[in-house]
Structure 1
Amino acid sequence: MNRTTSITLAVMLVVATVAVPLAAASVASNGSVQDNTESGNESIEPGEQFAAAVGVQNAEVEGDVSERAFGVRIANAETDETKAAVVAEQYEESEARLAKLEDRLETLNESREAGEISEGRYRGEVAKTTAEMRTIERQAATAETTAAGLPDDVLADRGVDVDSIRALRDRAGDLGGPDTASIARSIAGNDVGQSMGDDRASRGSGAGGNESRTDGNGTSDQRLETSG
């Protein structure tokens, strides 16, 4: 790992140590992640709601660290061939991660139907999984943009397929369907999974993120707000 990457990751980890306690404290002071929760949250115990909020926050911080590391690797790549190699590696990692998250959602749904997991824990795990999916969506969008600026022959040599990256982005953007997105919003508000670098004013304000986003992320943000 080069010096630039080490510095970037160190800064992000410092942010994590500050952001997570602040988010947790905000939840504790307000009594819940949001006052206007969607139907079904009445079955969640306060401790489960708190744990879910912290879990989402941790997923967002980890996602930011991963995104920044990818950005540094692209910035440090001196040739098109090296950039294509970074994109190819990122795609493989993201595809494998997304498959695991999709399997996790399926397992959670089966456990819920079988009564093997409490409603509170189910909803908290779904919210955390959704936050992780949003990271993959953003990384895929960045990889797609990077790949679009590289020569076709270089992409082919590295096995990079822009259409496959776009399909991965769309899969992650579906967030497991409208029901999953609705559950995630009920736990952490409309900005669940948003990058820590974006405007997070709505998180912990007592409104639980019910305001519309203004961070300019475009399609992916609108998808989460209108799903369900």
Structure 2
Amino acid sequence: MNRTLSITLAAVLVVAMVAVPLAAASVSSSANGQATSDSEAGNESIKPGEQFAAAVGVQNAEIEGDVSERAFGIRIANAETNETKAAVVAAQFNETEARLAELERRLEKLNESREAGDISEGRYRAEVATTVVEMRTLERQAATAETTAAGLPEAVLTERGIDVDSIRTLRDRAGDLGGPETAAIARSIAGNGDERSLGPDSDPNSSIDVGGENRIDEVGVNGADETAAESSEA
């Protein structure tokens, strides 16, 4: 098992080392052309080690975001009544709002540290990219919550204190990604090769595929874990 694990880790490292320079070179050309140009210029001053750490941080944030989105999707899909769905939406809204406020404060502190010269350009860009990826996850979760809330009876929403407009505002806040410069920094490190790329033209509603008409096939979810366990034993 140790030999198999070592081979797997080595393969992952090789793939990551190849992917990092590709991700660094993939910069979106958009209406924010000047911000993107500044991002490219900043990349030239980042050390290879910092670039690698940034790419790894972004990848980890994307994985955690996917897990969080799927968990939210499962709760929504498995909610059997409108009241239960409303409870899930309300809880998700509160959680998303609190987390977004934390990320906005983080970006503010990073910008202050950068201006004061207390942080290297490489570390600044790495932390900004990771933060923006997390904000993108929150945007997609808010979009899913908005869609779900829009399909619930007004009386149920009122009972739970849910305001669809407030959810939409939250989604827009997260979608701002801290402004064009920070979004460009994230694109320069994470790339934008998939349909959920970072930026104002991306579709926040293309996020969570819960499968089926009503409920998640939990056997399918657990099956992935069982397959991984069998591979480990081999």
TM above 0.5, yes or no, is yes
Aligned counterparts of 1:137 and 1:69: Cα–Cα separation in 2? 15
Give the number of the structure whose alpha-carbon radius of gyration is greater.
2
| CA distance 1:214–1:93, shift in 2 (3 Å) | closer
Contact 1:49 1:120 in 2 (8 A): yes
Contact 1:91 1:165 in 2 (8 A): yes
Contact 2:132 2:183 in 1 (8 A): yes
Contact 1:63 1:135 in 2 (8 A): yes
Deviation for aligned residue 1:28: 1.4
Aligned counterparts of 2:196 and 2:139: Cα–Cα separation in 1? 16
Contact 2:128 2:186 in 1 (8 A): yes
Deviation for aligned residue 1:189: 1.3
For the pair 1:123 / 2:125, whether they are aligned, the reply is yes
Aligned to 1:200: none
Aligned counterparts of 1:102 and 1:31: Cα–Cα separation in 2? 26
Alignment of 1:212-223 (within 5 A): 213-214=194-195, 221=202
More relative contact order, 1 or 2 (CA 8 Å, 6+ apart): 2
The RMSD of aligned alpha carbons is 2.5
Aligned to 2:148: 146
Contact 1:173 1:220 in 2 (8 A): no
Per-residue Cα deviation, 1:93-120 (whole angstroms, up to 9, x for no partner): 0000000000000000001111111000
| CA distance 1:55–1:31, shift in 2 (3 Å) | closer
Aligned to 2:168: 166
1:35 to 25, 31, 35: 25
Q: Which structure 2 residue ranges, 5 or more long, are not aligned?
A: 1-7, 28-39, 205-234
Q: Secondary structure at the match of 1:221?
A: coil
Aligned counterparts of 1:167 and 1:131: Cα–Cα separation in 2? 19
Aligned counterparts of 1:42 and 1:93: Cα–Cα separation in 2? 37
Per-residue Cα deviation, 1:165-220 (whole angstroms, up to 9, x for no partner): 00000000000001111111111112xxxxxxxxxxxxxxxxxx4xxx55699965
Contact 2:97 2:170 in 1 (8 A): yes
For the pair 1:98 / 2:87, whether they are aligned, the reply is no
1:26 to 15, 18, 30: 15
Runs of 4+ in 1 over 4 A off after TM superposition: 213-220
Q: Amino acid of the residue matched to residue 35 of structure 1?
A: A
1:52 to 39, 51, 54: 54
Q: Amino acid of the residue matched to residue 25 of structure 2?
A: D
Contact 1:52 1:124 in 2 (8 A): yes
- Paired residue total: 183
Contact 1:84 1:147 in 2 (8 A): yes
TM-score, with length taken from structure 1: 0.74
Q: Secondary structure at the match of 1:39?
A: helix
Q: Amino acid of the residue matched to residue 111 of structure 2?
A: N
Q: Amino acid of the residue matched to residue 69 of structure 1?
A: A
Aligned to 2:184: 182
